């Protein structure tokens, strides 16, 4: 008995105006400002906007550990009038049990948007290509754009503006947070300096991508070897864990390499007098950041964590509205 080869899956009809947030530079400067304004408005009046009324479902798929992202998206989707549908990434096994395009076609016919925390940026792009609904990057190995919307909202709340501020990112400059700060900071017209040990600096391609944005917005980007040079005069000092999710086997080696890039009170003393500190959490006191800095008066970490909800609500509301999927 012969078995016929399966027919090719039908192509998904592109939805006019469909928008996604896969990387930070999916938002141009004007759009980034719109999303931040919307986040501020939603923070001031959390229950006024109901673009997901129905309730319409949003799929939340997590292949990596999560706390803030799951809680803030879940609460935020409910506040927008929608239903947060949690999908266990281990059980769904997207890309292993079923191909990403097939899963995208199925989910896109069931839900109004898809939020996915996963590993490969290419998989996220494939989901967006085939879903027919907005897809939101809830973290990949390459980018963490939702965190950056929350971070920029937090900084703007403190300083009233973003353009012209200087930012020092100290840590793994090749990680998702380093790349997202380069792109989102440049989009906002900020001056972003990344300090990382050898082997963990931003790629030339990422610096060029961010630099092209900065050339249009009046910002700048740079990789700086010395953390003191990066932090000197900075308005915002940012760090992140030295061991990103999925890199746990490298913990011992990384802690040896990153020792000189710990955010201490001494290092922070080189920043501007008004400087604030951000960390996307989870934080490891005594490793990438000292407790007296994380818990100190310059830390905005807890405001930053709260702002994940307001920022992600704005991202979802903006995307479904731009895509013509918002409740009328």
How remote is the C-alpha of 123 from its chain's centroid? 16
**Residue 305, SS3 per DSSP:** helix
- Tell me how far apart the alpha carbons of residues 286 and 60 are, in angstroms, rounded to a whole number: 33
Side-chain half-sphere exposure of 304, counting CA atoms within 13 A: 21
Active-site option among 130, 147, 172, 235: 147
Count of beta carbons in the 10 Å neighbourhood of residue 304: 25
**Residue 144 is among the residues annotated as catalytic for this protein:** yes
Contacting residues for 222 by C-beta, under 8 A, at least 6 apart: 192, 193, 194, 207
Is 176 among the annotated ligand-binding positions?
yes
| Contact indicator for 46, 75 with CB cutoff of 8 Å | no
117 is catalytic: yes
Catalytic residue among 254, 279, 308, 309: 308
Please pick, among 19, 56, 144, 193, the residue that the annotation labels catalytic.
144
Cα distance between residue 186 and residue 191, in whole Å: 7
The catalytic residue among 20, 68, 105, 117 is 117
C-alpha separations of 74 from 59, 86, 248, 312 in Å: 10, 8, 27, 10
Task: State the catalytic residue, choosing from 151, 280, 290, 309.
Answer: 280
Peptide bond into 282 cis (omega under 30): yes
List of residues 6+ apart from 284 with CB closer than 8 A: 241, 242
144 labelled ligand-binding: yes
**Does 127 count as an annotated binding residue?**
no
Complete DSSP assignment for 61-84: EESS--SHHHHHHHHHHHHTT-EE
SS3 (DSSP) at 254 = helix
For 13, what's the count of Cα atoms within 13 Å in the CB-facing half-sphere? 3
> Rounded to whole angstroms, how far apart are CA atoms 233 and 229?
9
The catalytic residue among 240, 262, 310, 312 is 240
Point out which residues pair with 263 in neighbouring strands.
289
Q: Is 10 annotated as a binding residue?
A: no
- The reply to whether 175 sits in an annotated binding site is no
168 contacts 237 by C-beta, under 8 angstroms: yes
Whether 175 is a known active-site residue: answer: no
Q: Is 105 among the residues known to form the active site?
A: no
205 in active site: no
310 is catalytic: no
Q: Is 280 annotated as a binding residue?
A: yes
SS3 call for 239? strand
For residue 60, say whether it is annotated as part of any ligand binding site. no
Q: Active-site residues: which are they?
A: 117, 144, 147, 240, 280, 308
Residue set of the binding site for carbamoyl phosphate: 117, 144-147, 280-281, 308
Residue set of the binding site: 117, 144-147, 176, 240, 244-245, 280-281, 308
Residue set of the binding site for L-ornithine: 176, 240, 244-245
């Amino acid at each position: 008995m012969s078995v016929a080869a399966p027919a090719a899956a039908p192509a998904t009809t592109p939805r006019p105006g469909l928008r996604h947030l896969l990387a930070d530079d999916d938002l141009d400067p004007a759009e980034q400002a719109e999303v931040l304004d919307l986040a501020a408005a939603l923070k001031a009046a959390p229950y006024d906007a109901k673009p997901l009324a129905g309730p319409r479902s949003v799929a939340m798929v997590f292949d990596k550990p999560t706390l803030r992202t799951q809680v803030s998206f879940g609460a935020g989707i409910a506040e927008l009038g929608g239903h947060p549908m949690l999908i266990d990434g281990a059980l769904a096994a997207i890309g292993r049990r079923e191909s990403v395009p097939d899963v995208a076609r199925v989910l896109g016919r069931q839900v109004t948007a898809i939020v996915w925390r996963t590993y490969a940026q290419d998989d996220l792009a494939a989901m967006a290509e085939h879903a027919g609904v907005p897809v939101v990057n809830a973290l990949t190995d390459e980018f963490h754009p939702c965190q950056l919307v929350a971070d920029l909202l937090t900084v703007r709340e403190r300083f009233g503006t973003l353009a012209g501020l200087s930012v020092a990112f100290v840590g793994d400059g090749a990680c998702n947070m380093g790349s997202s700060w380069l792109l989102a900071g440049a989009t906002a017209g900020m001056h972003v300096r990344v300090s990382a040990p050898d082997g963990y600096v931003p790629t030339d391609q990422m610096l060029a991508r961010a630099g092209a944005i900065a050339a249009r917005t009046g910002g700048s980007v740079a990789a700086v070897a010395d953390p003191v040079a990066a932090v000197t005069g900075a308005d915002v000092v940012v760090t992140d864990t030295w061991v990103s999710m999925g890199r746990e086997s490298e913990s011992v080696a990384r802690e040896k390499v990153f020792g000189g890039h710990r955010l201490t009170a001494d290092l922070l003393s080189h920043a501007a007098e008004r400087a604030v500190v951000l960390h996307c959490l989870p934080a490891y006191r005594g490793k990438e950041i000292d407790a007296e800095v994380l818990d100190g008066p310059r830390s905005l970490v807890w405001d930053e964590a709260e702002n994940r909800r307001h920022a992600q609500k704005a991202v979802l509301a903006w995307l479904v509205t731009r895509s013509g999927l918002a409740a009328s």
